[in-house]
Chains A and B, each alone.
Chain A
Amino acid sequence: MSTPASIGSELPLQSQESVVIRFAGDSGDGMQITGNQFTATSAFLGNDLATLPDFPAEIRAPAGTRPGVSGFQVRFSSSEIHTPGDNPDVLVAMNPAALVVNLKDLKPGGIVIINTGNWAELDLKKARLDKDPRETGMLNGYRLIEIDINQRVKEALAGTSLSPKEVQRCKNFYTLGIMYWLYSRPLDPTEKWLAAKFKDEPEMIQANVLALRAGYSAGDIHELFQARYEVAPCDTMAPGVYRNIMGNQALSLGLVAGAHLANLELFLGSYPITPASDILHQLSAYKNYGVTTMQAEDEIAAVCSAIGASFAGQLGVTTTSGPGMALKTEAIGLAISTELPLVVVDIQRAGPSTGMPTKTEQSDLYQAVLGRNGDAPLPVVSCSTPADAFESAIEAVRIAVQFMTPVILLSDGYIANGSEPWRLPKLEDLTPFPVTFRTEKEGFHPFLRDGKLARPWVKPGTPGLEHRIGGLEKDADSGNISYDPKNHERMTHLRWDKVMGVRETYKPSTVSGAQRGKLLVVGWGSTAGSILSAVEVLRRRGAEVGCLHLRHIWPLPKDLAEIFGRFERLLVPEMNMGQLARLLRSEFPSTRIESYPKVQGLPFTTSELVARLESELAAASRS
């Protein structure tokens, strides 16, 4: 191991259960790489993990300004965790703007590491600061560590052939080295990563390794710190093979796995949009896994090409975010009317309209469940964590092909870009659901139905089964165009009943915490971790609170009525104005359902949920 074990060894080593670090700098400072490397190394050490990147919509906003600040928060722990943490223990600020944007979140008494190399008058001015925060009392109550990282990197790389600009690009690895020293992490994993990343640029490997090691040494030599810390491996994690995974990655893998389980080729039609584009990038690299991708001319062409592929016998998939969903709406209605399988992935972001593209929200629930012309029901599946996106994607594929229906799969920016350790499934545990295309001519018409009310799927090119489908209403008994009033009612009911029948294939819903009592917290999507953490806090205090997280937003599971009946009231926290709460109220009118909306483009913190749950519990006791 390349880690120089002796450095700093005379300092006391303090053990911590869980630590939250936020790296913040210019969007060009490489903070996402720094955070990802710290995460990968902590995963290697066996910590439980959760991460949250926070980057601006602008690729490179003017350097040193507040809008240009890019952040990456990582929480690593020796016990199991469900969120990236509310408040950082350590803030690394590469310039004054990064400090002022992030300081409000830092825990009292937390460590602030600032790069004084970017702390000149001009840097303060760019951050819209009249005075140096070190002199204003802004930093009182924190442990301030000042390092001129610019100068240190320059010294460390003096012997290399890199230009001064290239040298400064190694700052993030110097910073990473400091944090590795402070939290007793090995350098090996990152050095190996650098060797692979720059395999054709040996001077870049050398420079970044030098910067990393110099940062590691800095903690001791310059007597910046009075202690080092360690966070032991998390020994309660279930046995298995793990990898750290981001939501969009897991979702992509789930789509490929779903297509394999269905024994279908996958066709992705997609148009680039934040924060969904990574799925297009990833799937486009999987051409040898039965995947074809097409970057369409617009969102509508993206979904329509996928519908065409489904008609032709492949699994059509399209990926987008809210504004793209709006554009795809009519085509999704066509897939409902023609009863073709299709998976529509919506990585939600803050809206309406363009909204805040890089900020998370759960405000497309209505759009997914209700947002079409006509009575147009379809199943809606939701991912709850980055790793869960894998299973949710498989579930969406399963429903689509078994019920011949478009399915909307909801994720959001927080899941998409957040990461956590994923316990890899055993392949033999994944249940196949192979598709059988109809080839039997006898008695065929395109809108025949099986026991699940699904119509037959015929690959065009099959002799003798020539048929026409379309968006006009069909006669239930022949599939031909029909404007007959009674037939339309019958078809509308058939489409409804088919989608409602999806409920029969769900696994039973599970409640965590109290199984009955005062309060049930019902959530969906990326609020899962915060809700579970808050409920665990209150359970330790003996509160009668449980939580239930929905994977299926529509149709809702049948067992909810019984579960809801065991609690005095429900609380529904969600990152929108109460869309699930309203849906639940209409489905369960006799249940007392409180809504807890948050629309700041940010996830719920555990502490704000704890506070709300406490007040809800108190109210339940009074009533």
Chain B
Amino acid sequence: MSEKTTAVLNKKDLKSNQEVRWCPGCGDYSILNSVQAVMAELGIPKHKFCIISGIGCSSRFPYYMDTYGFHTIHGRAPAIATGVKIANPDLSVWMITGDGDSLSIGGNHTIHMLRRNVDVKIILFNNQIYGLTKGQYSPTSPAGLKTKSTPFGSVDRPFNPISLALGAGATFVARTMDTHPKHMEATLRLAAQHKGSAFVEVFQNCVIFNDGAFEEIIGRSVRDDRTFDLQHGQPMVYGANHDKGVRFKGFGAEFVGASEAEVWDASMPSTAAAQILAELDADPNLPTAVGLFRRVAAPTFDEGVRKQVAKIRESKGPGKLKDLIYTRDSWTVS
């Protein structure tokens, strides 16, 4: 057994002995690969990783990692991860979830984890469909999507996960794609370095029930022109020839030449600019923003809880059970 306390891990050190059972061609494989690559280089020994998941295809993830892991129940991973992080703060806690798990049944826990800023890295596999239950529409499916439960098309309006996370007060919000391992690893690296809730949406392809859902945006042949990558401190330039740019105009964005592109600042206290970029998704004719939407420093919930406990223990001294039971209002019967 490798007891690496400071050592750099090899990717394969993180692979468990369990056979990976996602469908052939599933985007989850590439995410697993990228997570293993990034985790291996963090300098954290593998026994310090704890991966918590909910229910769904993505949530099988912990079984494939030779770290501590907990495959929990549908939607509740944020609450369980919060308890883990408070009780055992030395752990690097990661949460794996899907669009149904974290935005539908577990939506409440997701927003509360983000507002509290619990120090957990959250990877949301967004494939805009329920996979494990075999093909019903999800809260991120576009309106009109025909699925097993919506044979005449969905009339639900979808969530934009980035907008939701920003609205919930997340301190780190990013988006990446399963087809672009380099971008995914760079994004996960940033997330791993962030202290607090780091919310990463991954556009992930479900080959069986929603194949090609993101193809028009992130397909290799189109993605350079259909997406623009938000990098903190870099101009918002995109295009196969790096000739296009984005800048803000009033309460919206406009698409201009690369030379007129605005420099992206992900650390703004206001989420307004990030929201403007996130909401570009609504118009299929406009490019989609990926990369780092927001990264601000804020106290974490788990640290706040621990500091308060430590402060009270220091000021009052370690409590003795006897003092708790034998109080001043007691009397003696002899």
Contact = CB atoms under 8 A, between A and B. Distances in A.
Please determine whether chains A and B interact with each other in the same assembly.
yes
B298 to A, nearest CB: 18
Contact of B308 (A287, A425, A441): A287
Interface stretch (A108-116, A253-261, A578-586): A253-261
Interface stretch (B242-250, B256-264, B317-325): B317-325
A300 B76 contact: yes
Contacts of B112: 296-297, 301
Interface in A451-493: 459-472, 480-481
A244 B76 contact: no
Given A460-B88, A468-B70, A305 B80 contact: yes
Contact of B91 (A239, A310, A312, A480): A312
A309 B66 contact: no
A620 interface: no
Interface residues of A, number: 69
B90 interface: yes
A183 interface: no
A241 B79 contact: no
Contacts of A269: 79, 83
B283 interface: no
Given A466-B66, A471-B71, A243 B329 contact: yes
Given A307-B83, A465-B47, A243 B88 contact: no
Contacts of B5: 463
A238 interface: yes
A287 B47 contact: no
A287 B333 contact: no
B229 to A, nearest CB: 34
Interface string B23-57: 00000000000000000000001111010100100
Contacts of A463: 1, 3, 5, 45, 47
Residue among A304, A313, A472 facing the most chain B CB atoms (10 A cut-off): A304
A35 B319 CA distance: 31
Contact of B86 (A238, A260, A305, A471): A305
A314 interface: yes
Contacts of A464: 1, 3, 47
B313 interface: yes
A302 B109 CA distance: 10
Given A305-B79, A331-B76, A469 B70 contact: yes
Interface stretch (A39-47, A59-67, A159-167, A551-559): A39-47
Contact of A253 (B45, B67, B324): B324
Given A257-B321, A470-B62, A304 B76 contact: yes
Contact of A466 (B55, B68, B78): B68
B333 A239 contact: yes
Interface in B236-278: none
A242 B82 contact: no
B330 A308 contact: no
Contact of B84 (A302, A309, A468): A309
Contacts of A312: 50, 83-85, 87-88, 91
A464 B5 CA distance: 11
Given A289-B319, A294-B82, 5 more contacts: A43-B329, A308-B70, A310-B83, A462-B47, A466-B47
23 contacts: A237-B333, A241-B332, A257-B321, A257-B325, A265-B87, A267-B86, A287-B312, A289-B319, A297-B108, A300-B76, A301-B112, A304-B83, A306-B83, A310-B87, A311-B70, A313-B88, A460-B68, A460-B91, A462-B47, A463-B45, A465-B47, A468-B62, A468-B71
Interface of B: 1, 3, 5, 16, 18, 45-48, 50, 52, 55, 62-63, 65-73, 76, 78-88, 90-91, 108-109, 112, 305, 308-309, 312-313, 316-319, 321-322, 324-327, 329-334
Interface of A: 40, 43-44, 46, 237-244, 253, 256-257, 260, 265, 267, 269, 286-290, 292, 294, 296-298, 300-302, 304-314, 316, 330-331, 333-334, 338, 424-425, 427, 441, 459-472, 480-481
Please give me the 5 A-B residue pairs with the lowest Cβ-Cβ distance, nearest first. Answer: A308-B83, A470-B71, A289-B319, A304-B79, A305-B83
